[in-house]
Structure 1
Amino acid sequence: MTSSTGGGDVTPPPISPIDPSYRSPGASGARKRSRSLEPDVRVPAEAARGYLVARLARDYAAAGRVLSEIRARAPDFTPRTLLDVGSGLGAACWAAQGAWGRSLQHFVCVEPSQALREVAERLRHGGGATPGPAHFGPVFLRPLLPPGPQVLLENGTRAGHRALMEAREELLQGPDADSVEIFAPCPHRLPCPRLSQGRACAFAQSFWPLPLSGNPSAPERELVSFLVVRRRGSAVTSPGDPVMSPPDPMTSPLGGWARVTAPVRPRPRHVSLSLCCPDGAQRRLAVTVARHGRSLYRQARASRWGDLLPFPGEGGTANGKAERR
C-alpha cells in the first residue's frame, strides 16, 4: 500500500453488518499473507470476500498505526487530499478519516482488481448495492502545492521490509536526494542495520478482528513495516516535532533520537531496549539510573515498541552492545 496525504490506536468508524456471503473458506489462509507486489487484476469475487474477512481489520490497524504517528508529531498538519495506490478495500481511507476527520475532503483510490473495487464500494455505501461507475472530472497537475508525506506500507516480513528498503535507497540516492527527509521510522539516513542482518524492521499493532463466525474473539497483533518520507519544508512538520524540527539545545537530547525496535523488557533495576540509533547502528542497551540518570530510566520504563527515545550518546553507551542476529 502506498498512500500520499496532502496539505496510539485509532478508533475505527462504525461498520455496518456484513453480508453473510462475505464469510469465505479461504479467509484463514489469507490472514497472514500480504498482497503480492505484483497486482493481480484477476482476483475472483470469492477471494475478494475472503480478503475482507482476513485482512480488512489488519490493514486498518496497520494504516492507523502509521498515520497516528504523523498526527501525533505534526498536530497542526491537516491534509485535504489522500491518494492511495494499491488501496485494496480502502482501509487506509478509513484510517485517515479516523485520524483527521473532516479536514480530508478528497480521496483517490487506485486498485487494479475489479473484485476488490466492488467490495470496497459496497463497504463505502454501508453494504448496499454498488452504485454506477465513479466519474472523474478533468485532472490537473499542481506541482507548486506543498507536498504531503508519502507513506509506504508493507506486511512486517523480511520480503516487505526489503521492498521498503529498496524504495528508501532509491529515494536517498536519486537526483532529488537532498530534498528528501525520512520522517519515520528511521532516525537516520544510513543503510538499515537490520537489512544486513537478514531481519525485518517491523512494529506491532493490536486490533480486534471483524465480529464474524470463525474469527477470533480476542485481540490479535499485526506486524507492519513502513516508511514515511516528506519533502524538506513541507507542512507535515510542526514546530514541536522532536525529530524533524531544527535542533533546540534546550530540549534536544545530546545523542539525538533512537527508535525502539523490539518489545521493551523491564527488569528490577534496569530496562533492556533494542534501539535503532541515530548513528545507523542497532544496539541493545541496558538503561539504569546509575549509568543514564533517573529521567532517561523513567522514559525507558514507560516506552513501548515503536516509540522514539532520547539516545544517551557515546557517553552513555559504554555498556551498550551491538545487536547481533
Structure 2
Amino acid sequence: MLLNSLQLFSKSLNQTNNYKNQLIRFLSNKPKFAITINDDIDNQFEAGLKYRKHVGRRRVPIVSLPIRLEAAANTVIEKYNSQQFREDVKTMFRVIMDHKMPAEPNEMMAKKKEIRVRLMDKEAIDLKSMSPEERHEVLQRIDIKVEKRLKDSLLNHLPIEYNEWKAAVYLAARLPPNFASIYSVFKEIRAEIPDFVPKTLFDFGSGIGTTLWAANELWPKGFDEYFCVDINANMNELSRLLIQGGNENKKMIFDPVFYRQYLPVSHNIKYDLVVSAFSLLDIPDAKNRIHVIENLWHKTQDVLVIVEHGNRSGFAAVLEARNLILQLSGHKITANFNYNPNNSQLSTVSQSTDATIISPCPHDLTCPRQFTDGPVLCNFEITYNPLRYGQQKALTGRERYSYVVIRKTKEQTATKSWPRIVQPVLTGHHRAICRMCCSDGQIREVIATKSNHPKHAYKCAKQSDWGDKLPGLIYETQNNQNQD
C-alpha cells in the first residue's frame, strides 16, 4: 500500500514538473510574439530602476483591514461569537462563492423539461400504454418531483435574506475579502488616473459599507457625500454601526452618509464615483439588471466601477454591464445578452454618452474571453488577512474577483494600450510565459527568453505577475524564430 502511494505521489510530482515544458512545447507551434519596452521605461531600467518596481506593476501585496474597521467589526462579532456562529460563517462563505446568476424564465423551462425526461427515463414510463386516468396520475406525480428537484437545483440562484444574525455572519465571512478586492480596484484607478480625486460616492448594494471604507483608504478625507443604497435594513444598520466604531452611541467616523433602501429614479444628481460591488447577482433577472446598470451609468459623473466574485457568474455579470455601457456609448461590440431597445423602462437610445474603459481592458472592443478556448474567465487574485475572532488558525486568504472601471470620456490614459497579464506568469530557466490581453482586443502569448528579447524586456516580463501591465507593445515575430 505504501509503495503504491509513493508511486502515485512520484507520478503526480513528475506530471507537475513536466507541465511547464509541455506547455512550452505546445506554444512553440503557435505564432510567436515578442515584447518591446517603451524607450522612457528602458532608460529608467538603465538608470537602476528595479524590474519588480516597474510602472506597470499592479499586483497589490497582502491587504489588511483598516485598524478602525477591524476593531469595529470585532466589537460587533463579540456579541454573536459562538461555535454556531463560526459554523454559520463557514457555511455563508461557501454559499456566497457558489451563488449563481438568477435563472431566466426560458432557462427554468428548459431545466424542467430536462428533469422530467430524466425522471421518466429512469422509471421507464410508457405513457402510450396507460389509460387517461393512469397517465394523469403518473404525470401529476412526476410534476411534483420535477418541482422539488427544480427548487433544489436553483437554491444557489436565490438571493439571501439577511436578518440581524445573518448580517453579522456575512460581516465575519466577507468583510476582509470584499474589502481587499475593492481596495485593489480603487488602487488601480489611482494608478491609471492619478488626477481623479472623487468628492461624492454612490454605492449601490452597499451592504455593510465595505466600499465606503476602501474609498477612504485611497482618497482619505476627500469625500463631501456618501450615498448608500441597500434594500436590506439590517445591512444598513450594521454599516452605520461599523462607522460608529461598533458602538451606536458614538459619532460616525465618516459624514455625511445617507442610506436608502431603493435606487433613486431621478438622474438629476450625479456622483463622481459610482460603485456596484458584489450586488448584481442579487437582482432577479436580466431585464432588471440592465435597468439597474443603465440607471447607475446615468448617475455617474465621472467613473463607474463594477466588481463581482471571480467565478463564472460574477464574470458574466461584469461582462453584461461592460457590454451594455459600451453599446450605450456607441461602441460596436458583440454582446452576450439579449435586450430589447424598445423597452419603455430603458432610455438607452436617447441618452448615449462617451465612455472608455480605464481597467482592466487595454481596449474598448469586444472582450476576447467571450470566444477563446480554454479558461473563459477574466479575473484577478488578491491576498488578504482575515478577521481573527477565536479561530485556532487564521491564515491569509486568497480571493479572485472580476471587475471593470469605465469613465465618461473619450480621452485615453497614457498607459491604456499597455498589454495586461491575464493569467499567472509561468517562469523557468531563462524563460517566462506571459498571456496578455492586448490593445487590439486579442489575447496573445509571449515566450520571453534571454535569447529572443533585449535584457530589460526579458527581465521586466519575468518579474511581472498576474494583473500587471507590461510597459510597452507586443509585436509578431517570424514563426520559425528560435525560442531557445
Decide: shared fold, TM above 0.5. yes
Structure 2 residue aligned with 1:148, among 297, 302, 307?
Answer: 302
Equivalent position of 2:207 in the other structure:
88
Q: In structure 2, what is the Cα distance between the partners aligned to 1:107 and 1:265?
A: 42
Deviates more, 1:292-301 or 1:220-229: 292-301
Question: What is the rounded CA distance, in whole Å, between the counterparts of 1:142 and 1:114 in structure 2?
Answer: 24
1:242 aligns to what?
415
Matches within 5 A, 1:267-306: 267-306=428-467
- In the alignment, the residues of structure 1 paired with residue 258 and residue 442 of structure 2 have an alpha-carbon distance, to the nearest angstrom, of 50
**When the two structures are superposed, what TM-score results if normalisation uses the length of structure 2?**
0.55
Give the CA deviation at 1:297. Answer: 1.0
**AA matched with 1:87:** S
Aligned equivalent of 2:169, options 29, 32, 50: 50
Deviations 1:213-241 (CA, angstroms, capped at 9, x unpaired): 2374211111010000001158xx77xx4
Question: Taking structure 1 as reference, are residues 63 and 28 closer, same or farther at Cα in structure 2, changes over 3 Å only?
Answer: same
Kindly tell me: are residues 316 and 113 of structure 1, through their superposed partners in 2, closer, same or farther at Cα, counting changes over 3 Å?
A: farther
Structure 1 counterpart of 2:245: 126
C-alpha displacement at 1:18, in angstroms?
2.1
State whether structure 2 residue 72 is matched by structure 1 residue 21: no
CA deviation after TM superposition for structure 1 residue 111, in Å = 0.9
Q: Does 1:182 align with 2:375?
A: no
**Which segments of 5 or more consecutive residues in structure 2 lack a partner in the other structure?**
1-59, 103-157, 252-256, 260-265, 273-299, 332-352
CA positional deviation for 1:143: 6.0
Sort the Cα spacing of 1:22 and 1:91 in 2 relative to 1 into closer, same or farther, 3 A: farther
Give the secondary-structure state (helix, strand or coil) at the position aligned to 1:272: strand
Displacement, 1:292? 2.6
Asked if the contact 2:363/2:439 (under 8 Å) is kept, the reply is yes
Pairwise mapping of residues 189-200 of structure 1 onto structure 2 (< 5 A)?
189-196=364-371, 197=373, 199-200=376-377
Higher helix share: 2
What is the percent sequence identity of the aligned residues? 29
Change (3 A) 1:167 1:77: same
d(CA) in 2 for partners of 1:135, 1:257:
39
Cα distance 1:22–1:230, how it changes in 2: closer, same or farther (>3 A)?
farther
Q: Please say if residues 356 and 410 of structure 2, whose CA atoms lie closer than 8 Å, have aligned partners that are also in contact.
A: no
**CA apart distance, 1:194:** 2.0
Return 49-58 or 112-121, whichever deviates more. Answer: 112-121
- Residues 160 and 310 from structure 1, CA distance in 2 versus in 1: closer, same or farther, beyond 3 angstroms? same
Is the Cα–Cα contact under 8 Å of residues 291 and 316 in structure 1 kept in the other structure?
A: no
Q: How does 1:67-106 map onto structure 2 within 5 Å?
A: 67-106=186-225
Alignment partner, residue 326 of structure 2: 172
**1:12 alignment partner in structure 2:** 65
SS of the residue corresponding to residue 148 of structure 1 reads strand
CA contact (8 A) 2:202 2:271 kept: no
> Which runs of 5 or more residues in structure 1 are unaligned?
1-7, 244-255, 321-325
For the residues of structure 2 that align with 1:21 and 1:173, how far apart are their CA atoms? 48
| Alignment partners' CA distance in 2, 1:296 and 1:72 | 22
SS in 2 for 1:29: helix
Q: Distance in 1 between matches of 2:361 and 2:403?
A: 10
Match 1:223 to one of 375, 400, 404: 400
Tell me which of the two structures has the higher relative contact order, counting C-alpha pairs closer than 8 angstroms and 6 or more residues apart.
2
Distance in 1 between residues matched to 2:480 and 2:230, nearest whole Å: 49
| Secondary structure at the counterpart of residue 221 of structure 2 | helix
**CA separation in 2, counterparts of 1:319 and 1:12?**
51
State how far apart, in whole Å, the 1-side matches of 2:477 and 2:244 are: 55
Give 1:295 deviation, angstroms: 1.8
Structure 1 residues 88 and 186, CA, compared in 2 at 3 Å: closer, same or farther? same
Moved more, 218-227 or 102-111: 102-111
Aligned twin of 2:185: 66
Paired letter, 2:175: L
Task: Tell me the amino acid that sits aligned with residue 265 of structure 1.
Answer: L
Quick check: 155-164 or 275-284, which moved more? Answer: 275-284
- Preserved contact between residue 121 and residue 130 of structure 1 (Cα < 8 Å): no
Shift of 1:118: 1.5
Residues of 2 paired with 1:131 and 1:317: CA distance? Answer: 68
Give the counterpart letter for 1:276 in structure 2.
C
More off after superposition, 93-102 vs 286-295? 286-295
Q: Partners in 2 of 1:258 and 1:81 — Cα distance?
A: 31
Query: Counterparts of 2:163 and 2:399 in 1: how far apart (Å)?
Result: 25
Q: TM-score, structure 1 length as denominator?
A: 0.80
Residue 213 of structure 1 aligns with which residue? 390
Letter in 2 for 1:180: A
How many Å apart are 1:21 and its aligned residue?
2.9
CA deviation map 1:140-162 (0-9, x unaligned) = 82569892210000000011111
Q: CA deviation at 1:27?
A: 1.0
* Alpha-carbon displacement from aligned partner over 1:14-58 (angstroms, at most 9, x marks no partner): 132423234323111222425776795842111111100100011
The AA in structure 1 aligned to 2:368 is P
Deviations 1:268-321 (A, max 9, x none): 11111121122222233211233232221121122111011145433348589x
Q: In structure 2, do the counterparts of structure 1 residues 22 and 52 end up closer, same or farther at CA, with 3 Å as the change threshold?
A: farther
Deviates more, 1:12-21 or 1:88-97: 12-21
Q: What is the alpha-carbon distance in structure 1 between the residues aligned to residue 448 and residue 397 of structure 2?
A: 30
Match of 2:406, SS state, is strand
**Displacement of 1:120:** 1.1
